[in-house]
């Protein structure tokens, strides 16, 4: 019961923060991701259904994926049940030393973001 109440509190806090339109709010959810090494590249995939606002950068041998999924609620609508996560997200993936982040390829299909980084 305590776990369910804590989850409800977290959802309500997230909804409250989003309704205020916090401009620089911290990451509020973590999209599931896979990272693996193929023959000549590193491949990272993230589940991002409903996300159009994202950026992919490489900083200091770390791949960063940041973005935002807007809430499905419109003006005047109230949630009866919210199970999906909304708001800002941020993921970091350490890259091998031989990865060429400057030559990355990024694409999204069916809500799955795919990033391929060549290895030399």
| Cβ contact 58:95 at 8 Å | yes
Which pLDDT belongs to residue 91? 96
CATH fold of the domain at 2-118: Immunoglobulin-like (2.60.40)
Going edge to edge, which strands form the sheet with 105-109? 33-37, 41-47, 112-118, 105-109
Q: Which residues of the chain have pLDDT under 50?
A: 18-23
Which pLDDT belongs to residue 67? 96
Residue spans per domain, the chain: 2-118
Interval 40-62: pLDDT, tens: 999 999 999 999 999 999 999 99
């Amino acid at each position: 019961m305590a776990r369910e109440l804590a989850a409800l509190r977290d959802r309500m806090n997230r909804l409250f923060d989003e309704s205020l339109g916090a401009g620089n709010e911290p990451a509020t959810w973590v999209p599931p991701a896979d990272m693996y090494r193929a023959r000549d590249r590193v491949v990272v995939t993230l589940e991002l259904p409903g996300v159009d606002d994202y950026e992919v950068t490489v900083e200091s041998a770390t791949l960063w994926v940041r973005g935002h999924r807007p809430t499905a609620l419109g003006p005047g609508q109230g949630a009866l049940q919210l199970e999906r996560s909304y708001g800002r997200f941020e993921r970091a993936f350490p890259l091998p030393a031989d990865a060429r982040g400057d030559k990355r390829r990024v694409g999204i299909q069916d809500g799955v973001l795919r990033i391929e980084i060549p290895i030399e």
